[in-house]
Every structure is written in structure tokens, then in C-alpha cells.
């Protein structure tokens, strides 16, 4: 019962943070699944990808429906098409990487992005 409540709370927090900041579920869900459920890095990432699909669809629709925003479909198409190539490559690398290296690389990425946002952004 406790794990169920934690997972439901995680979904609510991840969805809210994703809606506010436009970040993917991986930034919130992956570390939480590592901590709450003791999953492997690759398993947590796979679950995060899966829950991103409905979140991304609803989030994109909500942002697109705002009359004050202008969605640049050329930018969206260019980034989305090359992201597919990157995800194919990245998932392959995740499957062959050692668990501790994958987890540390993820942590280093989160730290680097956090430092940039806190110290280096405009």
C-alpha cells in the first residue's frame, strides 16, 4: 500500500513539474524509481519513457492550444526527427553500459544541467 501511494504521488509530482517546466518524466521519475523501488537504471529509464508518452501528448496539446504561444513546426520537426536517431543510439548504449557507469553519468548530467540553470542561464 505504501509503495502504491508513493508511485501515485510520484506521478502527480512528475506531471506537475513537467507541466510547469516542460521537462521530461525522466528527470523526475527515473531518480525516484531508483530510490523508491530500487530498480536498475535501465529499468527506471524504460518506465520513465513509457510514462512520458501520455504526458508529452497532453502537455504538447495544452501548450499548443494557448493563443499567446507560437509553435514553430519547423523547429519541432527538426528536433523530433533527430531525437529519434539519438534515442535509438542512446538506448543501445544504455543496454550495453555497466549499471554504475550509467547511473553516475545520469547523475553528472543532472548536476551539470542544474549548475547551468542556477549559475549560467540568463
* DSSP structural state of residue 2: H
DSSP 43-83: HHHHHHHHHHHHHHHHHHHHHHT-TT----HHHHHHHHHHH
pLDDT above 80 for 105: yes
Could you tell me the pLDDT band of residue 121, with boundaries at 50, 70 and 90?
low
pLDDT above 70 for 20: yes
| Angle of helix 41-64 versus helix 73-96 axis, rounded to 10 | 170
Domain count, the chain: 1
Could you tell me the pLDDT band of residue 47, with boundaries at 50, 70 and 90?
very high
Work out the average pLDDT over 106-117.
Answer: 92
Domain that holds residue 64: 2-120
**CA 67/CA 78 separation, integer angstroms:** 23
Q: What is the pLDDT of residues 79-103, one digit of tens each?
A: 999 999 999 999 999 999 999 999 9
Dihedral of alpha carbons 60, 63, 64, 65, sign: positive
Model pTM score: 0.79
Amino acid at each position: 500500500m505504501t509503495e502504491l501511494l508513493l508511485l501515485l504521488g510520484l506521478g502527480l509530482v512528475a506531471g506537475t513539474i513537467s507541466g510547469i517546466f516542460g521537462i521530461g518524466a525522466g528527470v523526475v521519475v527515473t531518480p525516484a524509481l531508483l530510490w523508491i523501488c530500487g530498480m536498475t537504471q535501465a529499468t527506471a529509464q524504460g518506465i520513465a519513457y513509457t510514462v512520458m508518452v501520455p504526458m508529452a501528448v497532453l502537455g504538447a496539446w495544452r501548450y499548443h492550444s494557448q493563443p499567446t504561444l507560437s509553435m514553430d513546426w519547423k523547429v519541432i520537426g527538426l528536433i523530433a526527427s533527430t531525437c529519434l536517431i539519438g534515442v535509438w543510439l542512446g538506448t543501445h548504449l544504455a543496454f550495453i553500459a555497466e549499471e554504475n557507469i550509467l547511473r553516475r553519468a545520469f547523475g553528472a548530467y543532472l548536476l551539470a544541467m542544474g549548475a547551468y540553470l542556477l549559475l549560467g542561464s540568463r
